[in-house]
Structure 1
């Protein structure tokens, strides 16, 4: 530690240092998390940050003054898990980078940022894409979707109805279970999901097919949550649809296929590409994906709602084995 320019006298000190005005890494981390938690989706996100910092950073340099943290110390944290827990290590590096940037801006670290990837860590560790294959959500082949829907229609449960609605709208689990009647305009046939419930933090308008509207008519209530839990005032949990699929024999160990609710977005996308002539941008807009091409995104400011109507109706017809009206 001394050879790296780190003062050993701080290494085993406790958080009592903070009261003396010393900005340790742990203190900076907590300050950063408190400052940013207001813009994060849930308390769980902040808890995940604290957990990874406590598990990996704190034992190495959590109690060190933040200005003594260098590239070698950052590597001491992430290199042991870079090859075995690549995604965790990559997220941890990003979190350290953000915390240290906060410390630099506030004058507690002279910089440059020792956890930054470009120009620093990229020269010391292989790119994560070279050592870890991304894990995609298992998706049901679109050829099986009609049979699956037939099975769902025989189960008159809230989870079954929610799962059908998720498939018909090509939305995410959190968007469906958090849906409320105030977001639905049955006259216009639109479901408006507010920005604070969307992954991309942008309002998403979903054109509702005749099948989706018919499904909503089957729901018992006309206020509050679309898919309420039996527990008063709550919506169904984020595990309800997954558990329902597992009970039907699906899931990672299921005999009927390792499929999960989120995978139906991929099912929809594959169907669009292989079975229709709808333009790519309509499918991407239906999935609420942000265009990666910045020039294209700058010119396409509309959400193409009316053009997406026939796409979502065609998808619903395919799912229910019906002809286009």
Structure 2
């Protein structure tokens, strides 16, 4: 019996096993998560939140077709140069596609970081990373209402707040309300309801000729109250001449002084807002369009939505305000 036991122990030792009979725990090797793995997991996590099938298709197409060079790379190893090389083929010819691709690559890598599949930071961030290595885009001769990339919004608003001028305050108010320049320039104190936290723009200043009620954030109300102490007439943003509003030229100058894009336009803020809301939030399309005073659906549908749209728009504008303040 003892001899037989000794032979068993010898065999176990020869096989690298514990002579007491307990087998060593097998080594667990985890295959690194690839960009494609993270992409599939992210898309699956968003399955219940798509605004519509078109939105879902856009995300899937962008990541599956245009981010293909990253698919097989471990999410932990993707570097700034890899993201740059992925963007370059589209950077000049399809700038909007490139911008959306970058934001969706960023979302995938953020997902990997959140699940601890990547320890390093996100190389798809624009400010401080890609803005330092991507080539400048050629300015288009017929570019209409040039808009800021939405990731430049907080930087621009911060610089606007450093200025005490009326034009800078008017531009900030325009940015936070996404109103048109004419609507903001003509804004009057009697259009503001402090208790309801709204700004009612009369139809004669609206493009569609219909009255528009804008929910105001705390910061937008602060701007109004500060201007109330300074203005000498009924206009919130009084210009250099008596009873005349601040000029479009002065507002554009204030915007371009604050903006990294010296071709930015006042109307472009509306595109900046729409890009942010559509790509970075789950707010419904009809609420986004309503915030821009665009008609969605037929008259009956609009009347039905009007009952609760203001509160939904208020939440949207509060999220936008926070984003512009840098809380992203």
TM-score range, shorter chain: 0.5 to 0.7
Q: CA deviation at 1:248?
A: 4.8
Question: RMSD between aligned alpha carbons?
Answer: 2.4
Quick one: distance in 2 between partners of 1:134 and 1:223? 39
* One of 239, 260, 267 as aligned partner of 1:229: 239
Q: Partners of 1:298 and 1:232 in 2: how far apart?
A: 40
Distance 1:233 1:223 in 2: 6
Secondary structure of the 2:248 match is: coil
1:242 aligns with 2:252: yes
Which secondary structure state, in structure 1, belongs to the residue aligned with residue 278 of structure 2? helix
Deviation at 1:187, TM superposition (A): 1.4
Instruction: Describe the SS at the equivalent of 2:318.
Output: helix
Q: d(CA) in 2 for partners of 1:164 and 1:222?
A: 20
The partner residue of 1:198 within 199, 206, 218 is: 206
1:1-325 equivalences in 2 (<5 Å): 135-219=143-227, 220-221=230-231, 224-248=234-258, 256-291=261-296, 296-297=301-302, 300-302=305-307, 304-322=309-327
Separation of aligned partners in 2, 1:165 and 1:199: 19
Shift of 1:283: 0.4
After superposition, the C-alpha distances for 1:242-297 in whole angstroms (9 at most, x for unaligned) are: 122344576xxxxx442111100000001101111111111000000022667754
Bigger CA drift: 258-267 or 222-231?
Answer: 222-231
Larger Rg: 2
- In structure 2, do the counterparts of structure 1 residues 228 and 280 end up closer, same or farther at CA, with 3 Å as the change threshold? same
Looking at structure 1, the residues matched to 308 and 178 of structure 2 have their Cα atoms a distance apart, in angstroms, of 15
Preserved CA contact (<8 Å) 1:169 1:312: yes
What SS does the corresponding residue of 1:138 show, helix, strand or coil? Answer: coil
Q: TM-score, normalised by structure 2?
A: 0.52
Residue 210 to residue 240, structure 1, CA distance change in 2 (3 Å) = same
Deviations 1:186-240 (A, max 9, x none): 1110000011110011110000011111222221238500000121111112222
**Gaps (5+ residues) in structure 1?**
1-132, 251-255
SS at the partner of 2:144?
coil
